[in-house]
Amino acid sequence: MRSLPLVAALVAAVTVTAVAADDPKQAKTENVIVVMLDGLRWQDLFTGADEALLDKARGGVADAAAVKKRFWRDTPEERRAALMPFFWGTIAKEGQVHGNKLKKSVGRVTNTYNVSYPGYSEVLCGFVDPVIYTNAKFPNRNETVLEWLHKKPEFEGKVAAFTSWEVFPYIINDKRSGVPVNGGYAPLKGVPDSPEVRLLNQLTAETPLAGEETRYDAFTFRAAMLYLKAKKPRVAFISFDETDAQGHAGRYDRLLHGAHKNDAFLKELWETVQSLPEYKGKTTLIVTTDHGRGDAPVEWKNHGAKVAGAEFFWFAILGPDTPALGEMTDTEFTQTQVAATAAAALGYDYAAAVPKAGKPIAGAVKAGP
C-alpha cells in the first residue's frame, strides 16, 4: 500500500497536469491533422512486406519478383523503411509510434466488432456505442471530438474532413455537427474556384463505375490539400481506404503499393504544413487506423468480430508537444484514447468534458511550453 504523502503527491501531479492540459495557452500546437489508413495491419507497418504473402496463391501478387525487388529486404527494419520511408524516417524519429506487439506495445480496439464504422466512431468519439456495430449508413447519435472542437468559437468554421469512404458524412454527422465532410465521390466545395478545383471535381465525377461509392485515395488527398491551402483549417481529418480495399480484394501487392502511396501523401502533407506560416512549428500530426486484420495465409484479407488479431491497432504522433521517443515499448493503449490525445495536443481536456471517453495516451503529449 502506498504511503499517504506519496498518494498526495501523485494526486497533486495529476491535478497540475489536468489543469495544464485544459489550458490551450499551455500547448505549442495550434492545429491538429489526423490521418487514418484504413485496415493497415500492425504487422505490415512494423515489419514491412510479409514474405508469406509475396506470391500469387496466398497474396494475389501478380508479379512477385517486382514486388520483392521493391519491398523485400533482409530485416524487418529495412522492410518497413522501404514500405513507408517517411513514416519511419521522420515520424518515428521525431515523434512516437505505438503498437508493435513484438516489442510489447499493444493497442486494442475495444468495440469488439472490428469493422470500420464502429472503429472510426470509437476513434473520433473516444468511447464505444453498442448501437454502432455495422457499416450501415445512419447518422451517428454521438458527438465526435471534431464536433466538440467545432462548437468552440476559436474552431468554428476551422474543422473539416476528407475521406475516401462515403460513410463518413454519417459517422461525423455533418448535418448536425456543421463539420464539412468531403467523402466518397462528392465534389469539393467551400474553396475558391480555380482550374485545379474544377479539374479535380471533373475527374471525381467521371471516375466511378456504376455502384462505386468509395473513391481513390489520390482524390481524397488532393481535395484535402486544396482545402488546406485555401482555408487553413485548424483541425483536419483525412481518411484513406485503399489499404483496406486491397486487403479485401486479396491483392497484397496492391495493398503494399497503397501503403507506400499513402506514405508519400503523408510526406507531402507534412512538408506543405511546414512551408505555411499558419502551420509551421505549431501543428501536430496523428496517424492511426480503425482496426487490424488477421494473419497469413488467409485471414489477412479479413477483419471482424471473429477474426483473431483484428482487435489490434497502432498509433503515431508527431508535433511540437510530443516528446521524440521513437518506437515505443512496453505500453498498452486503446482506441478510445485517440480523441482525447488529439484534443490534448491543442491543450484541451476532452476526457474531462466527456467522462466516458478514454484519457490521452500516456506520454504522447506534454503540457506546457
87: left (phi over 0), alpha (psi -120 to 50) or beta: alpha
Amino acid 367: pLDDT: 63
Whether 284 has a pLDDT exceeding 60, the answer reads yes
Distance CA 29, CA 12 (A): 25
CA distances from 115 to 109, 297, 350 (A): 10, 20, 25
Q: Return the DSSP state at 113.
A: S
What count of Cα atoms within 13 Å lies in the side-chain half-sphere of residue 258?
24
Q: What percent of the chain has pLDDT over 70?
A: 92
* pLDDT for 10 beyond 80: no
Closest CA to 336 of 348, 321, 318, 354: 354
- Which residue reads 475521406 in cell numbers? 163
The residue assigned the cell 465525377 is 205
Map grid coordinates 462505386 to a residue: 212
- At 2 the pLDDT is 40
CB 235 within 8 A of CB 279: no
Mean pLDDT of the 58-65 span: 97
C-alpha cell at position 297:
495465409
pLDDT, residue 26, reads 74
In angstroms, rounded to a whole number, what is the distance separating the alpha carbons of residues 307 and 115?
A: 11
Residue 89 near residue 81, CB atoms below 8 Å: yes
Kindly report the backbone phi and psi dihedral angles of residue 15, in degrees, each rounded to the nearest multiple of 5, phi listed first: -65, -45
Side by side, the strands of the sheet bearing 105-108 are: 312-313, 105-108, 331-334
How does pLDDT run across 25-39, given as a tens digit for each residue?
578 999 999 999 999
Residue 143 pLDDT grade (very low, low, confident, very high; cuts 50, 70, 90): very high
For residue range 242-269, what is the model confidence (pLDDT) as tens digits? Answer: 999 999 999 999 999 999 999 999 999 9
Arithmetic mean of pLDDT over the chain: 93
Kindly state the average pLDDT of the residues 303-327.
98
Q: Determine how many CB atoms are found less than 10 A away from the CB of residue 8.
A: 11
Angle between helices 64-71 and 76-83 (to 10 degrees): 100
The helix-helix angle for 252-275 and 76-83 (nearest 10°) equals 70
Residue 218 phi, psi (nearest 5): -60, -40
Q: Say if strands 283-288 and 181-183 run parallel, antiparallel, or are unpaired.
A: unpaired
**pLDDT for the residue numbered 128:** 98
Q: Please, what is the angle between helix 195-206 and helix 217-231, to 10°?
A: 160
Mean per-residue pLDDT, 274-288: 98
Asked if the model's pLDDT at residue 13 lies above 60, the reply is no
Q: Which residues have a Cβ under 8 Å from the Cβ of 256 and sit 6 or more positions away?
A: 44, 49, 67, 70, 71, 83
CB 149 within 8 A of CB 354: no
Pairing of β 181-183 and β 159-163: parallel
pLDDT classification of 23: cutoffs 50, 70, 90: low
Q: What is the pTM of this model?
A: 0.93
**16 pLDDT above the threshold of 70:** no
In terms of Cα–Cα distance, which of 317, 231, 315 is closest to 270? 317
pLDDT tens across 144-189, in order? Answer: 999 999 999 999 999 999 999 999 999 999 999 999 999 999 999 9
> CB–CB of 270/93 below 8 Å?
no
**What's the pLDDT at 14?**
39
pLDDT for the residue 21: 42
What are the grid coordinates assigned to 198, written together?
A: 474544377
8 Å CB contact between 117 and 169: no
pLDDT at position 27, please?
84
pLDDT tens digits for 45-57? 999 999 999 999 9
- What per-residue confidence (pLDDT) applies to 125? 98
